[in-house]
Chain A
Amino acid sequence: MTFDLFEKFDPILNDYNSLPKGAGNPFTVSMEQVLSPTTAIINGRETILAGTNNYMGMTFNQECMDAAQEALLTLGTGTTGSRMLNGTYNSHKKLEDTLREFYDTKHAIVFSTGYQANLGIIATLAGPKDYVVIDADSHASIYDGCAMGNATVVRFKHNDAHNLDKKLARIRKNDPQAGILVVLEGVYSMLGDQAPLKELTRISKAHNAFVLVDEAHSIGVFGETGRGVAQEQGVEDQIDFIVGTFSKSVGTIGGYCVSNNPKFEVLRLVCRPYIFTASLPPSVVASATKALELIANSNLRAKLLSNSRRLNNGLSQAGFEMGTTGESPIAAIIIAEQNTAITFWGEMIKEGVYVNLALPPATPKKLNLMRCSLSAAHSLEQIDFMLEKFILVGTKLGLLQDMPKRVLA
Chain B
Amino acid sequence: MYMTQTVDEIFEQICKIIAPFNKKNIPITKDSLFSVDLELDSLNVMDILSEIEDEFDITVPLNMLPDMETVGQFAETVKQLLSEQ
Chain A residues with a Cβ under 8 A of chain B: 136, 146, 152-157, 163, 166-167, 170-171, 174, 360-361, 366
* A154-B43 in contact (CB<8A): no
Nearest neighbor of B54 in chain A, beta-carbon distance: A166
Segment at the interface with A among B12-20, B59-67, B71-79: B59-67
Q: Is the CB of B85 within 8 A of A157?
A: no
Size bracket, chain B contacts = 10 to 19
Q: A174-B85, A361-B41 are in contact. Are A167 and B59 (CB under 8 A)?
A: yes
Q: How far is A170 from B61 in the complex, measured between Cα atoms in Å? A: 12
* Complex CA distance for A174 and B85, rounded to whole angstroms: 7
Asked if residues B50 and A152 are in contact (CB atoms below 8 Å), the reply is: no
Sample 22 A-B pairs with CB under 8 A, ordered by A number. Answer: A136-B47, A136-B50, A146-B62, A152-B59, A152-B63, A153-B61, A153-B62, A153-B63, A154-B53, A154-B59, A154-B61, A154-B62, A155-B49, A156-B50, A163-B50, A167-B53, A167-B59, A170-B57, A170-B58, A174-B59, A361-B42, A361-B43
Which residue in chain A gives the minimum CB-CB distance to B42? A361
Number of residue pairs A-B, CB distance < 8 angstroms: 38
- Kindly identify which residue among B47, B49, B53, B63 contacts A170, using a CB–CB cutoff of 8 Å: B53
Min CB distance B24 to A, Å, is 15
A5 to B41, CA, bound (A): 21
Alpha-carbon separation in the docked complex, A370 to B32 (Å)? 36
By a CB distance below 8 angstroms, the chain B residues around A163 are 50, 54
B3 part of interface (Cβ distance < 8 Å):
no
Closest 5 CB pairs of A and B: A153-B62, A152-B61, A170-B59, A153-B63, A361-B43
CB distance from A132 to the nearest CB of B (A): 9
Which residue of chain A has its CB nearest to the CB of B58?
A170
In-complex Cβ contact of B50 among A146, A157, A360, A361 (8 A): A157
Which residues of A lie under 8 Å from residue B26 when comparing CB positions?
A: none
In the bound assembly, the distance between CA atoms of A136 and B53 in angstroms comes to: 14
Separation of A274 and B54 alpha carbons in the complex (Å): 37
With both chains docked as a complex, state the minimum distance between the C-beta of A194 and any C-beta of chain B, in angstroms: 22
Contacts of A360 in B (CB 8 A): 41, 43
B residues near A155, Cβ cutoff 8 Å? 46, 49-50, 62
- In the complex, which residues of chain B have a beta carbon less than 8 angstroms from the beta carbon of A170? 53, 57-59
Minimum C-beta distance from A384 to chain B (A) = 37
